Structure 1
Amino acid sequence: MDSNFNGDLPPTYSNQKDSLRAPAISSQEMNLLILSYLQDSGFNHTAFTLNTEASLPLTKPNGPLERGLLIKYLQKGLLYDEIERSVRTDGTIVPYERPLRLLKDVDVQDFSIADASIPQPPPPALIAPMASDRPANAQIIVDPSTQIANSKRKHADSSDEADDDSSASMDTEKANDKYRRTARDVNKVKVRSSNNGPVPTPPKPKFKPGEAPREQMKKLTKAEAIWLEGHMGNVYATAFNPKYSNVSASSGADGILKIWTLPAVGREMKGKTLEVIDCSQLKGPPRKGDGRDITTIAWSSDGEMIMTGAYDGSVWIWTRNGDILMEKRVHKGPVFSVKFNKDGTRALTAGLDKRTIVWDIQTFDIEHQWQYHMGSILDADWLDNDILATAGGDRIIYVFKCGDPEPIKALYGHTREVNQVRWDPSGEYLASGSDDATIRVWKFSKEEPYDRRPQPDADCIRVMRGHEREIGCLIWAPQSNFLDKPLLLSGGMDGHVRLWNAESGELIWKCKHSKNHVFTADFSPDGRMLAVGGADGRITLWQSITGQIQKDWITSNGLYDLRWQAPEGNRIIFGTKNEGLAVIDVSKMPAC
């Protein structure tokens, strides 16, 4: 305090200072200040843990917090304490010769003894998902004997190592895992009604699908599928060209994008004679952990460009013939999603660094950039040429519009990380899948100006429950004359697949597909069939409406990605662990 301070104090100060009320501050505000300090200081993991445990994304501060705000308030508090210590009860001032130091001069309470004036955290039994995601009279019961490791891995789970040889434990050390984060143990929660009545169960399926016993499944042989050789290690992403149906692409742990030219439909395929273009992102043989893994790929709608995102944060755009158009390394961490917009004039990239970037394809420069998520961005999808949705570890779904510096929508409701967001073909619905084992469907009016800031759950029309574990994949059925309603397929870490009427929330059918995880699925171009691949190596073709199995195979290793050829729909391409890449001509396969 300044020793020259001679200001007169009010004569009644000594009587009033003890009765002054301290400004009110909530625990959420305190947590937000601490979170801001942790982020400013680079303690990202600690900040993520605090954000998750305190449910901070569900709060709504008025705008971003000023940098260093916690330090600023602490300094002001020290000044106040210094003034208070300097003023005696008779009003005389005894100035301090030096500024107060936070921990040496301020009394530090022994917090090992509970203070009734200090709010205590709730016991674990009271920590539960938000109220909107359970019945109003639900009571949360914690089973202390059961703990699950919530290590989020799209293609791996450490528990898989205990499975038998027929189950593929997906590689836990590879980079395509868009959910790869430090494992944390959480209490397994059970929901029980307070009136001892049962919690409402999910609706019964309209159809009962067929399910072949595992020992009766046909093993997929090299004679029945064309195995495309060349990748070194796991193949994480596959994609047929939307314009040139005999062209496909694949990428994986070796950091190489391969563009394959298959024979025309109807002609025999021979894997060793196929034309292939290698697009190498790095020179030299791959080294474990060097970050070259290509985690995601996407074609432009005209089929002339393909984009890749890698674990080292790099983003590349190539021509269909393998020429480099763009090479950027802007992201500070793995890239989990790359997508072209509908007309191919823009492309988005998003990933671990919480940033969503939109690129101008004419100049290959950054056109827009947002950083509103408080956790990693796990998925993103375009609605049209201007509007996109993102989702991630903070449990929030943001909708952005190019040209608007702020989100035009923020959708709340999920209680755990959101793994998938997908717009339906009509653009009317947005589906999201989460670690909370639910699927939410959000409705958007085509006439809506997209400038309304909704309240939580304001646009959520359906919450579909039934999966027992995290949602691993979401796929919309294509628009076709065969289908008269919006169908949504979900696959979970519980090994189940479920087909829903997204408009009504009706469960059409469900089936136990894999022993462990379902990571990938795709509809045929006409929507009549769907293919599903699991971590145990099973590939199944179903009739989409009835759920009846048409073909069922088992491979030696688990599947990472699976895509159906369009528009013919005769072929399916899939990438696996270790075995690489394969193409099946479903029109030539005998039925089960």
Structure 2
Amino acid sequence: GGTLRSLSGTELTMPFKIENIPDSLKEDTQEHLSRSMNFFNKVNKEFQKLQEQLQRVTEQRDALRAENESLKMSLRTQADQQQVVKPVMLSPASNMLPGSGPVAKPSTASEGGDRFVIDRHHSNLHKAPVHSVAMSEDSTRVVTASWDATVHVFDLTRQVLDKTLRKQNSEPMGGLYSVAFAKTAPDILGCTSVDRHVYLWNYQTGTQQFKLGGEKGHQDEVNGIDFHEGQQVMATASDDSTAIIWDFAEGIPLRTLVHPGKPVYGVTFLGKDPERQYFVSTCCFDQKTRVFDMRDKKVVVTLSGHTDDIIGIDYSSHGILATGSDDGTILVYDIKTWKVLHKLDCKVDMSQDTEVKRVGFSRDGDMLAAACSTGSVVVYSGFTSADKPRMLQKLSGHTDCVFDVAWGVTPSGSRLLVSASHDKSVRYWKET
């Protein structure tokens, strides 16, 4: 017989007496047992090494803990020796909207040199990411649409949450992707949903006008929406590779614009100028921007230049079209020649991991704001001059992807910019 020790040190007695085995097998059996013992000895040695390493790691851990406690004591001593700094006072509660964060007191341009300063901040505005924001033509109301399937309507004049639009009559309404005010019907707004429908509301009364979908509607998630400046039509863009032109007053589809097999994310009309009042432009996940003539549904031009999904699209009355892409760039096209006027690289102006989401021109067309995946908004200016636009300012403060922006004008006539983020908040930026 023989004695071995287990990995824990306990003696193990193993019989090595070979009985009742033919002589021809005894040698093989003995060799097998010998190999087994050698293997066990190797494992035992490795285990002992691991125990020694564990002991060293434990000693290092204890030393680090002691050093950490020493550093804590040192920091406490330094803190006790420093002067007390007075906290920054927030604006009074009377300036806060229900459910919003405090209204930050705007600094002046001479204090910080920034063109835009934070005016107010609505934190935890929704229960889910805020995916879209829009401002009424008279800049008195802001609406936000969220994945929580609600639209909040804010009255900026009274600084109150005026209404919350949600499912009616027990009919479900899915998470919302976009929202916009009708330009020819001041009481109407539209929103698009993951549930494949488009919803039209009278936001003054809080009543739902239409729920558009079904066989003649979209067959997949609806991503974008825009209203015409001079006609009672709207356009919607969907993952079903189509854009649909609707008569929103009657709630009926007029045209379906088919795209080649990729989701269509954004859509915008090209104004009410007689030459282009029937033109509508879409941006698609095939990295193309298309301009359609609504009358015959034909593609007028296909614009290239992006290398990733195109998310944002907006038109300026100065005759330029801007698109924003996950490739981190903004392309600005001249709609007279369909040539690229400017390529703005947000990866250079912001950071290398920047993706551009929705984009929007200011009311006067001189500025363009881009919502970015990095939690910031970048503002460019100079689109009404002959020079190349320049980056004016980076607006920070959100803690998650900023997906949409909207422009308006304050009562004093300065620009007002609103940003909507997946951090469930909305920020208002006022021009100084």
So what's the TM-score if we normalise by structure 2?
0.59
2:194 is aligned with 1:352: yes
Change in CA separation of 1:573 and 1:415 when aligned onto 2, cut-off 3 Å: same
2:283 is aligned with 1:430: no
2:360 is aligned with 1:526: no
Kindly provide the amino acid, as one letter, of the partner of residue 534 in structure 1.
C
Change in CA separation of 1:403 and 1:428 when aligned onto 2, cut-off 3 Å: closer
Q: How many residues align?
A: 312
2:327 is aligned with 1:494: yes
Task: Provide the identity percentage.
Answer: 16
Alpha-carbon distance in structure 1 between the residues aligned to 2:173 and 2:191: 12
Q: Secondary structure at the match of 1:408?
A: strand
Kindly provide the amino acid, as one letter, of the partner of residue 268 in structure 2.
R
Alpha-carbon distance in structure 2 between the residues aligned to 1:538 and 1:362: 30
Change in CA separation of 1:575 and 1:336 when aligned onto 2, cut-off 3 Å: closer
2:199 is aligned with 1:341: no
Q: Which runs of 5+ in 2 are unaligned?
A: 1-89
Change in CA separation of 1:266 and 1:310 when aligned onto 2, cut-off 3 Å: same
Query: Greater CA radius of gyration, 1 or 2?
Result: 2
Alpha-carbon distance in structure 1 between the residues aligned to 2:194 and 2:107: 39
Q: Residue 462 of structure 1 contacts residue 504 of structure 1 at CA under 8 Å; is this kept in 2? A: no
Q: Residue 414 of structure 2 contacts residue 430 of structure 2 at CA under 8 Å; is this kept in 1? A: no
- Alignment match, 1:332: 173
2:237 is aligned with 1:391: yes
Q: Residue 135 of structure 2 contacts residue 407 of structure 2 at CA under 8 Å; is this kept in 1? A: no
Shift of 1:428: 4.0
- Alignment match, 2:264: 418
Shift of 1:257: 5.8
Which deviates more from structure 2 when the two are superposed, residues 508-517 or residues 489-498?
Answer: 508-517
Alpha-carbon distance in structure 2 between the residues aligned to 1:293 and 1:229: 26
Alpha-carbon distance in structure 2 between the residues aligned to 1:538 and 1:304: 22
- Alignment match, 2:290: 440
- Alignment match, 2:388: 547
Render the CA deviation track for 1:206-251: whole Å, top value 9, x for unaligned: xxxxxxxxxxxxxxxxxxxxxx999xxxxxxxxxxxxxxxx999xx
Shift of 1:431: 1.5
Q: Residue 400 of structure 2 contacts residue 422 of structure 2 at CA under 8 Å; is this kept in 1? A: yes
Alpha-carbon distance in structure 2 between the residues aligned to 1:294 and 1:576: 5
Q: Residue 524 of structure 1 contacts residue 569 of structure 1 at CA under 8 Å; is this kept in 2? A: no
Change in CA separation of 1:327 and 1:564 when aligned onto 2, cut-off 3 Å: closer
Which deviates more from structure 2 when the two are superposed, residues 322-331 or residues 548-557?
Answer: 548-557
Alpha-carbon distance in structure 1 between the residues aligned to 2:289 and 2:105: 37
Q: Secondary structure at the match of 1:397?
A: strand
Q: Secondary structure at the match of 2:365?
A: coil
Alpha-carbon distance in structure 1 between the residues aligned to 2:342 and 2:315: 15
Alpha-carbon distance in structure 2 between the residues aligned to 1:362 and 1:555: 33
The structure in which a higher percent of residues are strand is 2
Alpha-carbon distance in structure 2 between the residues aligned to 1:575 and 1:278: 10
Q: Secondary structure at the match of 2:225?
A: strand
So what's the TM-score if we normalise by structure 1?
0.45
Matching of residues 224-239 of structure 1 within 5 Å: none
- Alignment match, 1:379: 224
Render the CA deviation track for 1:251-296: whole Å, top value 9, x for unaligned: xxxx956796977998989xxx9986969877xxxxxxxx444433
Alpha-carbon distance in structure 2 between the residues aligned to 1:357 and 1:505: 33
Kindly provide the amino acid, as one letter, of the partner of residue 242 in structure 2.
I
Change in CA separation of 1:366 and 1:325 when aligned onto 2, cut-off 3 Å: same
The structure in which a higher percent of residues are helix is 2
Render the CA deviation track for 1:12-43: whole Å, top value 9, x for unaligned: xxxxxxxxxxxxxxxxxxxxxxxxxxxxxxxx
Q: Residue 542 of structure 1 contacts residue 550 of structure 1 at CA under 8 Å; is this kept in 2? A: yes
Q: Secondary structure at the match of 2:409?
A: coil
Shift of 1:404: 4.1
Q: Secondary structure at the match of 2:211?
A: strand
- Alignment match, 2:151: 315
Q: Residue 559 of structure 1 contacts residue 574 of structure 1 at CA under 8 Å; is this kept in 2? A: no
Matching of residues 115-154 of structure 1 within 5 Å: none
* RMSD (CA atoms): 4.3
- Alignment match, 1:475: 314
- Alignment match, 2:338: 505
Matching of residues 76-155 of structure 1 within 5 Å: none
Change in CA separation of 1:524 and 1:302 when aligned onto 2, cut-off 3 Å: closer
Q: Secondary structure at the match of 1:415?
A: coil
- Alignment match, 2:302: 463
Q: Secondary structure at the match of 1:390?
A: strand
Change in CA separation of 1:579 and 1:295 when aligned onto 2, cut-off 3 Å: closer
Kindly provide the amino acid, as one letter, of the partner of residue 162 in structure 2.
I
Q: Which runs of 5+ in 1 are unaligned?
A: 1-227, 231-246, 250-254, 283-290, 445-451, 588-592
Render the CA deviation track for 1:113-140: whole Å, top value 9, x for unaligned: xxxxxxxxxxxxxxxxxxxxxxxxxxxx
Render the CA deviation track for 1:372-396: whole Å, top value 9, x for unaligned: 1110000111114631111110011
Render the CA deviation track for 1:345-369: whole Å, top value 9, x for unaligned: 2221221011112123454332222
Alpha-carbon distance in structure 2 between the residues aligned to 1:555 and 1:548: 21
Kindly provide the amino acid, as one letter, of the partner of residue 304 in structure 2.
R
Kindly provide the amino acid, as one letter, of the partner of residue 412 in structure 1.
V
Render the CA deviation track for 1:173-206: whole Å, top value 9, x for unaligned: xxxxxxxxxxxxxxxxxxxxxxxxxxxxxxxxxx
Alpha-carbon distance in structure 2 between the residues aligned to 1:329 and 1:341: 20
